Each structure stands twice: as C-alpha cells, then as structure tokens.
Structure 1
C-alpha cells in the first residue's frame, strides 16, 4: 500500500473540494450538515397502558409464586384478559 506524503494529501484534498463545490454550483445547492434535533427534557411522556398499570400493581405477588419471567408474563396475560373475554361474551347478542 502506497502512503501519500503531506503535499500529495493536500493536493488531493483541494481537488476533491473543487470538484464538490463545482457540483454544488451546478445543482444550485450548498452542502450543509444535518443538525440533530434536540429533545425537550420538559416534554411530557406518553401515559402508561392499562396492561402495564395492572402488571405493576401485581408484580410482587406474581414474582413470589413464579421465578421464571416467561411464566410470570403468561400469567399476567391470562389474568388480565380473562375478565375482558367474559365481559365480551356476556354483552354480545
């Protein structure tokens, strides 16, 4: 691999900059960096879903019964959805 000396690097850099500037003039645009959007730290966060509120309330009790995270998640789902399914069955004609 051939390494360039400082003079050659400078020359190639200028050639590159001249070609880019001529291209920009042709396109009638300027090269600009995209600026990162700043996040507002005071912006309110999205509310927690009903399921997460339910899970947070019962987390300690479910963890005592089951140590496995997968089993705990399945139990959350089952106990959360059962009353809704029953309600849907009774209210539908």
Structure 2
C-alpha cells in the first residue's frame, strides 16, 4: 500500500505542474498508473491489479482518494492473498 501513496503523490505533482491548481486530470492518473505498475510488480500480479484498481479509483472526482486508494488496495491484496495465493509471488 505504500506504493499507492507514492502514486498519489506523483499524480498530485503532475497535476500541479500542468494546471497550477488542485484538479483531477488524466495526466496525473497516467503518472500514478505507470508508477504503481512498476513498483507493485514486487507484490506480484496481485500488486499490479491493486495498482490498476487504485489508479482508476483515484480518478473519481467526488471521493476522497486518501481513503479510497488504501481501502481498494487493501481489498485487492487481501482478496488475492486468500483466494489466489499464487498471484502474490514477486515478479522480480
């Protein structure tokens, strides 16, 4: 879940550099998506799925992404751990 926090930070940095205000934009979501995929491969396929899910949840306008991103990440990772344990092996 720490990786999702890095993704949230990078999306905010990209948005502030481009728009100079707090807004949700696809550029920030793409930055989070790329960073999460790279870093979450350490957690295996489950980590990559969590990164993908969190990238899209973070994009939702009227939701607090500081709550939803960790909650979605935890849900995906726990679901994979209990139901698909083979998805949790590191890819590197």
TM range (shorter): under 0.3
Q: Which has a greater percent of helix? A: 2
State the TM-score, normalized to the length of structure 1.
Answer: 0.25
Larger radius of gyration: 1
| More contact order relative to length (CA 8 Å, sep ≥ 6) | 2
